[in-house]
């Protein structure tokens, strides 16, 4: 990490005042199992908990996706923060002050300046909108039915039809050209050796995108006519990632409802908020990656998909159902009859009609069954068989026995097929799905049990890498082993760059006989290295004579290092490795 280093005493206090299970419990529902706690991983979609918090080491590891680390790493990844920003967030949570005045790192400073530039840009766009220069855009907003209070609440604005209007304004506020390029507010061009800067957004209606902490992280710009491209959005920056952005969640999370309406775009969301549906959000893009799904799942028990009725909108519905089905969040689908989108329906028929549509929303199962039914003539035997063949697979995915029984009974009545026959087919499909799921989860565990830092190591060195992992795990848990073998331990005996980096970070602490815990190592190791160390700690159970195990590992590593000009040095099977420690 660049910049000054935090003191070890400060990091210890930070760790003690931010007990990892308490911090993670704000995001994940954890259940205690002895000295560990388990829950559904917030970093990928899953139905079976594979995310484990280790109370002894104050660390976490997910056996499904390989994410791991300490409390700082968790906050960094969960809230998309840099190292020092995550430390600041945890210090604030614990009522602590950073030990050095003005402590900062380069990345944190760049992030802060981007946020400051975005906030000033939002003020600029809104002020232009309210001036004579922005009259054309204000008329556009008013013409779409947006009220002045709504325009103010969402900070809507106008980017003037000028090449350097925003650039000149922000330069006058003390921002550098590089900072404005970093924020994607300004673009840079070079021609004939001359560098020019120009505004990214020109002659567009501007919508600021605000995160759940109230920071302006990005902008969406829409044309005022039918020209192309219709929308220009902020590209990925240090403070914004399109796949993780959710529009208006900062407002919807305080609506008092655990049901969130999801629209395709921010214009529909603004219209619904104005109509009284304060629990509406928009996902920026229709792909719905894990980051968006996990963020929404923190604030919702149920989502109602309000996507356009065209083919693109229905494809987005199907993707959304698949994305949310692994989170435990209930999904329902709105049938937008009478208009192509929510804004049009409200303008034509008023908010009450949309409220009726919300109340009549289909469950995800009903939506999928109706979609399948549309492809078959269920009045014919062949059509009925084809429909039921696909419908069985939909019912097999329902985890609730009661819900599954209700749909089986309904289809039995509709299709005039015995309930016993449908139940038998559904149970067979569930057994097949469970077998596949177990195989898939086993493959994931196998993949993650020998992580990405070691995947580049030739197979001939597999035994040495396993010895490296075992040794690091024992030094991490039992630092007294270091003094026993200090004369033989140096970074050169570790076969991978990862092993060398971890030992180098641990060594100053081990020399003082101190526990080399994850939080103290967090300044020296990056997120991936901490995840890998978490895996090693989680998958290496420390039993028996720890000193003897360390000695055997060091012996093997020294022998491996000493080998030269051997055709197959160090080849060792898993069985050979097990026998070594018997």
Instruction: Please tell me the predicted confidence (pLDDT) of residue 575.
Output: 59
Number of neighbouring beta carbons within 10 Å of residue 512 = 11
**What is the percentage of the chain residues whose pLDDT exceeds 90?**
57
**CATH classification of 246-360 is 1.10.10.10, yes or no?**
no
What mean pLDDT do residues 440-460 have? Answer: 49
For the range 144-151, what are the long-range contacts, defined as Cβ-Cβ under 8 Å and sequence gap of 24 or more? Answer: 144/267, 144/271, 144/343, 145/271, 145/274, 145/347, 146/270, 146/271, 146/274, 147/274, 150/270, 150/273, 150/274
Per-residue pLDDT of 58-88, as tens digits, reads 999 999 889 999 999 999 998 888 888 899 8
| Burial (Cβ within 10 Å: 0-12, 13-18, ≥19) of residue 418 | exposed
Q: How far apart are CA 30 and CA 350, in angstroms?
A: 43
Per-residue pLDDT of 293-344, as tens digits, reads 878 888 888 999 998 877 888 888 888 888 887 777 899 999 988 888 888 9
Q: Is the C-alpha dihedral spanning 132, 135, 138, 142 positive or negative?
A: positive
Instruction: Please tell me the predicted confidence (pLDDT) of residue 291.
Output: 77
Domains of the chain by residue range:
8-94, 107-227, 246-360, 368-434, 452-580
Domain covering 107-227: architecture = Alpha-Beta Complex (3.90)
- Which residues are within 8 A (CB) of 431 and not within 5 positions of it... i.e. 6 or more apart? none
* Closest of 564, 552, 541 to residue 467, by C-alpha: 552
Q: How far apart are CA 225 and CA 203, in angstroms?
A: 10
The answer to whether residues 55 and 35 touch, using CB atoms and an 8 Å cutoff, is yes
Q: How far apart are CA 211 and CA 205, in angstroms?
A: 20
Number of neighbouring beta carbons within 10 Å of residue 87 = 28
Residue 567 pLDDT > 80: no
- Read off the pLDDT band of 180 (50, 70, 90): very high
- Read off the pLDDT band of 451 (50, 70, 90): very low
Instruction: Please tell me the predicted confidence (pLDDT) of residue 499.
Output: 92
Q: How far apart are CA 472 and CA 502, in angstroms?
A: 8
**CATH classification of 452-580 is 3.90.1150.10, yes or no?**
no
Looking at domain 8-94, its CATH class is: alpha beta
Per-residue pLDDT of 491-512, as tens digits, reads 889 988 999 999 999 999 999 8
- For residue 360, CA distances in Å to 246, 273, 357, 455 come to 25, 20, 5, 51
Q: How far apart are CA 198 and CA 178, in angstroms?
A: 12
What mean pLDDT do residues 224-237 have? Answer: 91
Q: Which residue's entry shows tokens 């970074």? A: 491
The answer to whether residues 154 and 207 touch, using CB atoms and an 8 Å cutoff, is yes
User: Angle at CA 44, nearest 5°, toward 72 and 62?
Assistant: 55
* Closest of 538, 540, 542 to residue 68, by C-alpha: 538
Per-residue pLDDT of 239-255, as tens digits, reads 998 877 899 999 999 99
**SS3 assignment, position 458:** coil
Task: Answer yes or no: pTM beyond 0.85.
Answer: no
What mean pLDDT do residues 538-543 have? Answer: 77
């Amino acid at each position: 990490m660049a910049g000054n280093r935090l003191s070890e005493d400060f990091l210890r206090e930070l760790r003690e005042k931010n007990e990892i299970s308490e911090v993670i419990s704000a995001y994940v529902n954890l259940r205690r199992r002895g000295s560990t706690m388990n829950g559904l991983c917030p970093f990928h979609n899953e139905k079976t908990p594979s995310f484990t918090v280790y109370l002894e080491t104050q660390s976490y590891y997910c056996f499904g996706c390989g994410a791991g680390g300490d409390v700082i790493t968790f906050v960094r990844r969960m809230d998309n923060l840099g190292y020092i920003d995550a430390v600041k967030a945890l210090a604030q949570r614990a009522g602590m002050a950073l030990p050095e005045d003005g402590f900062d790192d380069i990345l944190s400073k760049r992030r802060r300046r981007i946020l400051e530039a975005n906030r000033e840009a939002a003020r600029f766009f809104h002020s232009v909108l309210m001036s004579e220069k922005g009259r054309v855009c204000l008329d556009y907003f008013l013409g779409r039915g947006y009220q002045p209070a709504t325009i103010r609440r969402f900070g809507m604005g106008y980017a003037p039809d000028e090449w350097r209007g925003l650039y000149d304004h922000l330069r006058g506020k003390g921002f550098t050209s590089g900072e404005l390029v970093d924020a994607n507010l300004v673009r840079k061009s070079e021609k004939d050796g001359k560098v020019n800067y120009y505004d990214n957004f020109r002659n567009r209606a501007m919508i600021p995108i605000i995160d759940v902490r109230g920071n302006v992280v990005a902008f969406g710009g829409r044309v005022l006519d039918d020209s192309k491209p219709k929308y220009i959005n902020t590209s990925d920056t240090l403070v914004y990632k399109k796949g993780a952005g959710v529009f208006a969640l900062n407002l919807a999370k305080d609506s008092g409802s655990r049901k969130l309406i999801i629209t395709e775009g921010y214009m529909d969301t603004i219209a619904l908020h104005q109509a009284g549906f304060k629990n509406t959000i928009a996902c920026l893009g229709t792909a719905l990656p894990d980051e968006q799904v996990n963020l929404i799942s923190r604030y919702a028990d149920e989502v109602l998909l309000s996507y356009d009725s065209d083919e693109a909108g229905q494809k987005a519905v199907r993707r959304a159902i698949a994305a949310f089905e692994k989170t435990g969040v209930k999904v329902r689908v709105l049938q937008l009859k009478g208009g192509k989108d929510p804004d049009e329906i409200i303008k034509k028929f008023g908010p009450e009609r949309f409220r009726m549509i919300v109340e009549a929303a289909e469950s995800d199962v009903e939506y999928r069954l109706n979609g399948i039914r549309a492809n078959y003539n269920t009045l014919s035997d062949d059509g009925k068989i084809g429909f039921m063949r696909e419908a069985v697979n939909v019912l097999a995915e329902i985890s609730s026995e009661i819900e599954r029984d209700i749909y089986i009974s309904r289809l039995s009545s509709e299709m005039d097929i015995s309930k016993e026959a449908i139940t038998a087919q559904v149970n067979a499909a569930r057994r097949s799905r469970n077998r596949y799921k177990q195989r898939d989860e086993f493959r994931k565990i196998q993949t993650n049990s020998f992580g990405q830092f070691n995947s580049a190591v030739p197979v001939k060195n597999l035994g040495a890498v396993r010895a490296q992992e075992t040794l690091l795990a024992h030094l991490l848990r039992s630092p007294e082993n270091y003094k026993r073998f200090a004369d033989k331990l140096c970074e050169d005996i570790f076969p991978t760059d990862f092993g060398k980096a971890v030992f180098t970070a641990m060594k100053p602490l081990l020399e003082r006989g101190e526990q080399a815990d994850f939080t103290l190592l967090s300044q020296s190791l990056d997120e991936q290295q901490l995840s890998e160390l978490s895996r090693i700690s989680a998958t290496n159970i420390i039993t028996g004579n720890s000193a003897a195990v360390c000695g055997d590992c060091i012996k093997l590593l020294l022998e491996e290092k000493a080998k030269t000009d051997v055709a197959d040095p160090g080849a060792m099977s898993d069985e050979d490795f097990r026998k070594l420690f018997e």
